Amino acid sequence: MLNNIGLPGLLLIAVVVLVLFGRGKVSSLMGEVGKGISAFKKGVDDGKKEIEDKAADDAKDVTPETEKDKV
């Protein structure tokens, strides 16, 4: 259904949204969407870094489990 919307249809939708909500509201909404996307990307990067740090810590400790308790 949505694959039949062309450029004229998208422009018409954009004009209707601007008329209904106004330029300021649409602008602030897009700003919030951008902040959300940035926060999501930062969270994904932090998660990857946390996993890599955990893997690096596990790789550094090569002591067998039976030897760890003897310290």
Model confidence pLDDT, tens digit, residues 33-58: 999 999 999 999 999 999 988 888 77
Determine the pLDDT at residue 22: 86
Does residue 71 sit in helix, strand or coil? coil
The burial class, CB within 10 Å (0-12 / 13-18 / 19+), for 26 is middle
How many whole angstroms separate alpha carbon 45 and alpha carbon 8?
Answer: 38
Quote the pTM value: 0.54
**Which alpha helices (H) appear in 1-71, and where do they start and end?**
7-60, 65-68
**Which residue reads 């067998």 in tokens?**
64
Provide the residue ranges of all domains of the chain, joining segments of one domain with +.
23-59
